[in-house]
Structure 1
Amino acid sequence: MARNTYNPKSAKSILKHGEALLGQSLRQLHPNAIIFGGKGGLGTSVEKFHYGYEPNSEAEPDFVEAGLELKCTPLKLLKDKSMAAKERLVLNIINYIDEAQKSFDNSSFWHKNKFLLLMFYLHESGVNPVDMIFKLIRTWKFPKEDLKIITDDWNTIHSKILRGKAHELTEGDTLYLAACMKGSKANAELRVQPYSDELAQQRAYSLKQGYINKIILQSFFDEGIQHQLRITPKRVEILKKKYSSEKVVKSTRSYKPQETFEQLIERRMKPCFGKTVKQIERKTHVEFNIGAKDLAYNICRAILKVKTKNIQEFENAGITLKSVVLEAKRNSIKESMSFPYIRFVDIVNQEWENSEWYRLLSSKFLFTVFRKSPDGDKRNMKLIKVFFWNMSYSDLLVAKELWEDTKQKVMIGDYNNFITTKTHKICHVRPHGTKNQTVLTPQGDRVQPKCFWLNNDYILNIVTNNIEDGGY
């Protein structure tokens, strides 16, 4: 299709032209189409073959006159054949030197990405990207409530750059907008930064996977948007609970001046610090299932006055909520913190930066800290503190050592000599669950499942550093 089949000054015209690809691959519409470069090359190919122009410089949106940035991003097929975001959406590379001189309104992120043309295609392993089918094509502007969080996220990233800490950036620093690693290997691309002689890993702005899933779900239910998304009725209900859930912040007027989302949550939770579960029940008029695994989440929902099963901002940001219970009379905990089973068949084909363990550790955590009651009654245990936390870059590097050791042992079929809590200062690997459970290995046999765990003394150190005066 030639360039003159759309108006480059009109976002509506550009979108309509893009919708010609819906249900088709780029090569079906343009038989001479080829892929350019590696990951991200499909977007370049769409620009060249479908829109008929040579890709422009990084500093400007792809369609400069319309202020519109084109992004192609993959969907994955789930076990029930539903479609969901395969990964985060990577945006533009951060130039630390230039960005240090900017405010949000004239930042490279906002200049380039305030108005997006999103083209979702179904990823198929081993298939050339130009042969993958587009399932959703739409434009996206950030809603006001989301933009507040995204602005705060940008300020968090910017603050680290200004303090000469660009080398310590992690995706867990922020909620919706992240600074993700950009490059084939962790140290393959290093960049200079202001206010420090230390080189920093190349990073790009990105929208987190949970936020992209929110866009997909909203598109699925918006009758005005054309799509070929396939989501089963059961999956629709799951997604409704996750992403159509109630928001904590109904309006940006909910914030106090200069207050972030994390600060708002902690402010609203604070009146219940020092109260027992029983007292919180009376205060919120909600009765809790005291034996439920998600008791801590349910208590948070009740205090925050969220009636749906999930908190929308938590789902959008991929926040991991973890409960910690201190002993009745001292600051100690018995248990380490477990994570989902290690998928042995997957870990052998992963690199650290795209591993499930890295994704979990580089997320934002919300710790809910309780203190046991001397009588052992869970309704008499007290909520001490709620706080957000994310793992530091230096600790992520230590956790990476454990992950690499685990991968190597899985590759040679050694499932009995993983690193233990006695030999690693942050985390370890051990079984979780009953002995009669088994999982598949790359060697084709089945073994007892294992999990990554964060050591209890590591967790205790995090908690004690965040509770005042030893807790209630």
Structure 2
Amino acid sequence: MIRDRIIKYKDKSIIELSEIFNVNAKSKAATFNIARGMLGVRGDKIQEFEKANIKIKAIRIGNNKKIKENMSFPAFKYLDIIKEEWEESKLRNIFIETKYLFVIFKENNNGQYRLFDSMFWNMSINDLDVDVKWVWDETIRRIKLNEYGRLPGSKENRVSHIRPHAKNGADTYPTWDGKKCVKKCFWLNNSYILSEIKKEINID
């Protein structure tokens, strides 16, 4: 039912959809607000989605058939993550408890992003407990070695990596050795997201 509500707007551009749903097309929340409009939701929160712990993520696929953006998650605190066990970790719980609604926009030859499709997604246990766990373990290991500048990158793991997630260089969290480091978070690799979409949807 949810996908049917979205797909009836297939091929409409972000600009066209912004006009239909009275959304500022240039705002960072434009695609989220468009999705909310397509679902017929009023107000800032989608109660049915919150009860089911479903998060909306807008995905943009370029005309080169690649996704430009990686997917970010909340910044972790250096002092907290080193005390966690994987099975009860905040990161693992996010993926265990959350389902995502991908609202997918695809770029045409004129550079316009148009609504292409949608799908529900949640991470497989294998990807979570093998690939993401490796990044999580390695992040903690390097934090304890004070290697904050070389936490796992996107070339080290096919699923996830660590990058800054801060307003600026002054937006920091304290470290276990009494210093401060810019806030960072776990990201899903854009190539991994694309591979997951391709399992369900033909993007050609």
1:450 matched to 2:184? The reply is yes
1:269 matched to 2:10? The reply is no
> How much does 1:317 deviate?
2.1
Q: Give the RMSD, CA atoms, in angstroms.
A: 1.9
The total of aligned residue pairs comes to 201
Kept in 2, the 8 Å contact 1:436–1:448? The answer is yes
TM-score, normalised with respect to structure 1: 0.40
> How much does 1:266 deviate?
0.9
Q: Which amino acid aligns with 2:115?
A: L
Classify 1:429/1:360 alpha carbon distance in 2 versus 1 (closer, same or farther; 3 Å). Answer: same
Residue from 58, 61, 68 that aligns with 1:323: 58
Give the corresponding residue for 1:294: 29
> How much does 1:281 deviate?
4.2
**1:100-115 mapped onto 2 (5 Å cutoff):** none
Structure 2 distance, partners of 1:419, 1:444, is 22
Structure 2 distance, partners of 1:429, 1:469, is 28
> How much does 1:390 deviate?
0.4
1:114-156, CA deviations, whole angstroms, 9 ceiling, x for partnerless residues?
xxxxxxxxxxxxxxxxxxxxxxxxxxxxxxxxxxxxxxxxxxx
Structure 2 distance, partners of 1:466, 1:296, is 21
Q: Which amino acid aligns with 2:196?
A: I
1:349 matched to 2:83? The reply is yes
SS in 1 for 2:118: strand
1:153-190, CA deviations, whole angstroms, 9 ceiling, x for partnerless residues?
xxxxxxxxxxxxxxxxxxxxxxxxxxxxxxxxxxxxxx
**1:460-471 mapped onto 2 (5 Å cutoff):** 460-468=194-202, 470=204
Structure 1 segments, 4+ long, off by >3 Å, are 373-376
Residue from 40, 43, 51 that aligns with 1:308: 43
SS in 2 for 1:425: coil
Structure 1 distance, partners of 2:108, 2:132, is 34
Kept in 2, the 8 Å contact 1:371–1:382? The answer is yes
TM-score, normalised with respect to structure 2: 0.89
Q: Percent of aligned pairs with the same residue?
A: 33
1:352-396, CA deviations, whole angstroms, 9 ceiling, x for partnerless residues?
1222211222221111111235454xxx42011111100001101
Greater Rg by CA = 1
Structure 2 distance, partners of 1:432, 1:341, is 6
Classify 1:334/1:281 alpha carbon distance in 2 versus 1 (closer, same or farther; 3 Å). Answer: closer
Structure 1 distance, partners of 2:26, 2:91, is 28
1:432 matched to 2:165? The reply is yes
SS in 1 for 2:200: coil
> How much does 1:442 deviate?
2.1
Structure 2 distance, partners of 1:368, 1:279, is 16
Task: Point out where structure 2 has 5 or more consecutive residues left out of the alignment.
Answer: none
Q: Which amino acid aligns with 1:394?
A: N
Classify 1:418/1:278 alpha carbon distance in 2 versus 1 (closer, same or farther; 3 Å). Answer: closer
Kept in 2, the 8 Å contact 1:331–1:464? The answer is no
Structure 2 distance, partners of 1:436, 1:382, is 37
Structure 1 distance, partners of 2:72, 2:94, is 11
Which structure's relative contact order is higher, taking Cα pairs within 8 Å and 6+ residues apart? 2
Structure 1 distance, partners of 2:53, 2:46, is 11
